[in-house]
């Protein structure tokens, strides 16, 4: 089997920032990396769930709403993916993400947190979500990273897969 591109990123050197994870078939997948993998705690599940609801709500109501395909958390809980159509740069998404996070900081509640509207409506934490947003805004403004460190992966058949 081929190694998935995101598994070729050296997570031991990955810093919080915004990265282009994939560009194919007219879509761009942006890696919205909130915490430093394996060096900082991941975002708590309840905070990430609230961040997902709020980020999806903001992006799907923003000026780019027609280009938003998907907004959702990474399984490792160190960030989110935003998939877009159109031609957006990392800097475009950085600006939009900061606008979104600043909007989140003003919110008094998380949308769609009833049993009818959410599959796990009790798993939310707006205060911790806001704490993560404040920290991430500071990182996006003052210590921005957008270039992946690549990792070579040896496949079962002995071939080396390296995405240069």
Residue-wise DSSP of 61-88: TSTTGGGEEEEEE-TTSSEEEEEEES--
pLDDT > 90? residue 113: yes
pLDDT tens digits, 34-46: 999 999 999 999 9
Residue labelled with tokens 């877009």? 84
Write the pLDDT tens digit of every residue in 49-68: 999 999 999 999 999 999 99
Question: Given 3-state DSSP classes, what are the helix, strand and coil percentages for the chain, each rounded to the nearest 5?
Answer: 35, 20, 45
- Tell me: pLDDT of 101 over 90: yes
* pLDDT for residue 5: 79
Bridge partners for 80 per DSSP: 32, 73
Mean pLDDT of the chain: 93
Question: 19: closest CA among 117, 162, 8, 129?
Answer: 8
If one counts every other C-beta atom within 10 angstroms of the C-beta of residue 145, the result is 18
Task: Give Cβ neighbours of residue 153 (< 8 Å, ≥ 6 apart).
Answer: 3, 7, 8, 160, 161, 162
Residue 152 has pLDDT above 70, yes or no: no
Q: What is the pLDDT of residue 163?
A: 44
Q: What are the CA-CA distances from residue 142 to residues 17, 35, 60, 73, 133 (Å)?
A: 10, 15, 27, 23, 14
Whether the pLDDT of residue 162 is over 80: the answer is: no
71 has a pLDDT exceeding 80: yes
Chain position carrying tokens 């920290």:
135
């Amino acid at each position: 089997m081929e190694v998935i591109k995101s598994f070729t990123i050296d997570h031991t050197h990955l810093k919080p920032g915004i990265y282009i994870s994939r560009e194919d078939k007219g879509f761009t997948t942006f890696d919205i990396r909130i915490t430093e993998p394996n060096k900082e705690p991941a975002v708590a599940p309840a905070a990430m769930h609230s961040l997902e609801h709020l980020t999806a709500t903001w992006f799907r109501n923003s000026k780019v709403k027609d280009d938003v395909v998907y907004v959702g958390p990474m399984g490792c809980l160190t960030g989110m993916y935003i998939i877009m159509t159109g031609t957006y740069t990392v800097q475009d998404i950085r600006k939009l993400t900061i606008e979104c996070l600043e909007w989140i900081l003003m919110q008094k509640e998380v949308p769609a947190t009833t049993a009818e509207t959410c599959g796990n409506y009790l798993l939310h934490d707006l205060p911790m979500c806001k704490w993560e947003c404040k920290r991430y805004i500071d990182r996006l403004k003052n210590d921005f990273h957008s270039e992946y460190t690549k990792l070579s992966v040896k496949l079962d058949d002995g071939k080396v897969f390296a995405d240069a």
